[in-house]
Amino acid sequence: MRNQISSALVFIAVVLFQCTDILAQPAAAPAPAGPTNITKILEKAGQFTTLIRLMRITQISDQINGQLNDTNNGLTIFAPADNAFSSLKSGTLNSLTDQQKVQLIQFHIIPSFISATQFQTISNPVRTQAGDSSARFPLNVTTSGNQVNVSTGVDDATVANTIYTDNQLAVYQVDKVLLPLSLFGAPAPALAPAPTSGEDKKKKSAADTPTSGDDTPSSDASGLRVHGMAVCFGAAIFATVWL
Ligand SMILES: *[C@@H]1O[C@H](CO)[C@@H](O)[C@H](O)[C@H]1NC(C)=O
Ligand SMILES: *[C@@H]1O[C@H](CO)[C@@H](O)[C@H](O)[C@H]1NC(C)=O
Ligand SMILES: *[C@@H]1O[C@H](CO)[C@@H](O)[C@H](O)[C@H]1NC(C)=O
Ligand SMILES: *[C@@H]1O[C@H](CO)[C@@H](O)[C@H](O)[C@H]1NC(C)=O
């Protein structure tokens, strides 16, 4: 009898110890402190010093941070790493005016959040943040399996990996700088007809439709915790009854 009681006490002690341990676990990863900061995200990823510098001198990093704070649509950013910039033909960046540098960087930004799976069903052409008209700076996205390519009409880039995603902002590394046709294409034939407003509208609505959202992050950690609590509770009842 004495033996039974002491082993029951040991059992309860062990259960209590386990339970405090489980309950002490944080329920979920803590939210990042403060507003989203694109510079910080790129700094942390490393290898994006040129992009960070261009975003700073064009003040686009402030614009991005402000937009993330103000709008619900979110943003998607294609981020070329330093080696993508260094493999540009020399003088490419220097040949651009300040205004064109702004357009080049804005061309890498889509004014809505696009998850990796949403690329599969996106409608082309995709509107970017560059220019004031959807017709001037379009991108086309093509996919094959998990591979996602982005074409500008001048070059084709491949999405290499996801640097950051939080369901509001997605940052994807691309292996090339996206060169807009309207800055780097062959000089357009003079007097190209302006698109009719009807056509413009159609394109805009196609580009504005970002697909089904099914990217709710799974809550594995909190599921585990609930499970752990149930086990603790059950064990405590069992121990009480046993005594
Ligand atoms: C964003 O992060 C950079 C570098 O970490 C910092 O210099 C800058 O002040 C931050 N911006 C804001 C708005 O917090
Ligand atoms: C974010 O938005 C709120 C409300 O619109 C504003 O008060 C705040 O100053 C903004 N923060 C930043 C960092 O822009
Ligand atoms: C993406 O680009 C790569 C390299 O240019 C090419 O081999 C591949 O076929 C392209 N895939 C798609 C889906 O366009
Ligand atoms: C994008 O695709 C459309 C057809 O869907 C095509 O007409 C257009 O030329 C393409 N643009 C680029 C930049 O590749």
pLDDT of residue 12: 39
Q: Give the pLDDT means over successive 10-residue stretches in the chain (243 positions).
A: 50 41 43 79 96 97 92 92 95 93 95 94 92 76 94 95 95 97 72 46 41 39 42 40 46
Atom of ligand 1 nearest to the CA of 34: 14
| Residue 18, number of CB atoms within 10 A of its CB | 14
Whole-number Å distance, alpha carbon 51 to ligand 1 midpoint, is: 15
Atom of ligand 2 nearest to the CA of 69: 1
Atom of ligand 2 nearest to the CA of 66: 14
- CA angle centred on 82, ends 115 and 171, rounded to 5°: 15
d(CA 112, CA 73): 5
108 three-state secondary structure: coil
Q: Is 90 in the pocket of ligand 2 (CB under 6 A)?
A: no
Question: The tokens of 51 are what?
Answer: 């992009």
Whole-number Å distance, alpha carbon 82 to ligand 3 midpoint, is: 21
pTM of whole model > 0.75? no
Atom of ligand 1 nearest to the CA of 62: 13
212 three-state secondary structure: coil
Kindly report the protein residue whose alpha carbon is nearest to atom 1 of ligand 3: 149
Kindly report the protein residue whose alpha carbon is nearest to atom 5 of ligand 3: 156
| Residue 142, number of CB atoms within 10 A of its CB | 13
Whole-number Å distance, alpha carbon 223 to ligand 3 midpoint, is: 39
| Residue 181, number of CB atoms within 10 A of its CB | 18
d(CA 152, CA 141): 9
pLDDT of residue 59: 96
Atom of ligand 4 nearest to the CA of 125: 1
Please enumerate, as own/partner, the contacts of 83-86 that have beta carbons within 8 Å and a separation of 24 or more.
83/47, 84/157, 84/174, 84/175, 84/176, 84/177, 85/50, 85/51, 85/177, 86/50
Q: Is 210 exposed, middle or buried, given 0-12, 13-18 or 19+ CB atoms closer than 10 A? A: buried
Whole-number Å distance, alpha carbon 37 to ligand 1 midpoint, is: 6
Q: Nearest ligand, CA of residue 66?
A: 2
Whole-number Å distance, alpha carbon 13 to ligand 4 midpoint, is: 68
Kindly report the protein residue whose alpha carbon is nearest to atom 6 of ligand 2: 69
Q: Is 124 in the pocket of ligand 3 (CB under 6 A)?
A: no
Atom of ligand 4 nearest to the CA of 151: 14
DSSP summary character for residue 208:
T
Element (H, E) at 75: strand 75-80
Kindly report the protein residue whose alpha carbon is nearest to atom 1 of ligand 4: 140
